[in-house]
Chain A
Amino acid sequence: KQEVTQIPAALSVPEGENLVLNCSFTDSAIYNLQWFRQDPGKGLTSLLLIQSSQREQTSGRLNASLDKSSGRSTLYIAASQPGDSATYLCAVRRGGGADGLTFGKGTHLIIQP
Chain B
Amino acid sequence: GAVVSQHPSWVICKSGTSVKIECRSLDFQATTMFWYRQFPKQSLMLMATSNEGSKATYEQGVEKDKFLINHASLTLSTLTVTSAHPEDSSFYICSASGTGGETQYFGPGTRLLVL
Chain B at the A interface: SS class = strand
Interface size on A, residues (CB 8 A): 23
Contact A43/B107 with A98-B51, A98-B101, A100-B34 known, Cβ cut-off 8 Å: yes
Closest chain B residue to A108 by CB distance? B41
Docked Cα-Cα span, A41 to B6, in Å, equals 14
Q: What are the residues of chain B within 8 A of A44 when measuring CB–CB?
A: 93, 106
Q: Mark B41-66, 1 if CB is under 8 A from A, else 0.
A: 11111100101000001010000000
Find chain A residues with CB under 8 A from B51 CB: 98
CB distance from A4 to the nearest CB of B (A): 7
B102-113 CB mask vs A (1 if < 8 Å, else 0) is 111111110100
- A28 to B: closest C-beta gap in Å: 19
Q: Is B32 close to A, CB under 8 A?
A: yes
Question: Is A72 part of the contact surface with B, judged by Cβ < 8 Å?
Answer: no
Does A42 reach chain B (CB closer than 8 Å)?
yes
Binding site for B on A (CB under 8 A): 4, 32, 36, 41-44, 46, 49, 89, 91, 93, 96-106
Residues of B within 8 A of A (CB): 6, 32, 34, 36, 41-46, 49, 51, 57, 59, 93, 95, 97, 101-109, 111
